Structure formats: C-alpha cells, structure tokens
C-alpha cells in the first residue's frame, strides 16, 4: 500500500508479540503507535474483517473506499475466533505497510518471547 519509507521498524517485534497475546483490549504505547499507523491512511483497499456469523465466524475483506459499497471478501480462511481474525488482519496490514512479512507464529517467540 505504501510507496515511501515505512513508518514502522519491521525489525522491532515486541509490539507484535504483545498483539499476539492480546489483540483486543488495552495496549502499550508502543503497540498503540503501531496500530494507529496500520489503521490510518487511505481506506480504499485496506484489509478488514467481515462477520459471516455473529460471534462465530469471520473472513477477510478489502474496503472499497466508496460510501455504500460493501467490502469485497477475499479468498482465505474462515476464522472461528475474533482474536485469530484480528491477528490475520494485523499480519496483512503489517506486510502492506512495511513491505516485510511477519514470521510464523512460532518464530515470533524465538527471539525474546512475550514482553
């Protein structure tokens, strides 16, 4: 999504680890700063969650950016917890913002663990 230098240091994974532990709720200042960047910017094309069944199933979509036009669902998994769905959107937005893919879940804990 971004064509200029990233506003997030892709080597600093402590905010990512924090998000993985608690994607919903209160967050540290460092994680809030990352989330503000991932949630800002142009709306068109931004990844979002689409609720398929209230409190039971979510899928990933992309926002059209046009008022009244619903998000378009993209191919991918259906999530049965909101936390897993939020983590997936975080991962997609991180890659779009930084140009770097996050390591797999297990690899997030190989250097430093949860903080």
Q: What is the dihedral of CA 29, 102, 58, 69, to 10 degrees?
A: 80
- Residue that has been written with the tokens 């680890």 in this structure: 17
pTM: 0.86
Using left for φ > 0, alpha for ψ between -120 and 50, and beta otherwise, residue 84 falls in: alpha
Contact 75, 95 (CB under 8 A): no
Could you report the per-residue pLDDT of 11-69, keeping only the tens digit for each? 999 999 999 999 999 999 999 999 999 999 899 999 999 999 999 999 999 999 999 99
Beta bridge partners of 49: 60
């Amino acid at each position: 999504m971004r064509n200029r230098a990233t506003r997030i240091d892709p080597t600093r994974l402590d905010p990512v680890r924090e998000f993985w532990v608690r994607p919903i709720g209160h967050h540290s200042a460092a994680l809030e700063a990352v989330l503000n960047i991932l949630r800002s910017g142009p709306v068109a094309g931004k990844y979002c969650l689409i609720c398929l069944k209230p409190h039971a199933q979510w899928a990933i979509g992309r926002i059209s950016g046009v008022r009244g036009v619903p998000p378009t669902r993209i191919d991918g998994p259906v999530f049965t917890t909101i936390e897993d769905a939020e983590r997936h959107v975080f991962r997609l937005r991180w890659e779009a913002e930084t140009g770097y893919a996050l390591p797999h879940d297990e690899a997030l804990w190989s250097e430093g663990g949860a903080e």
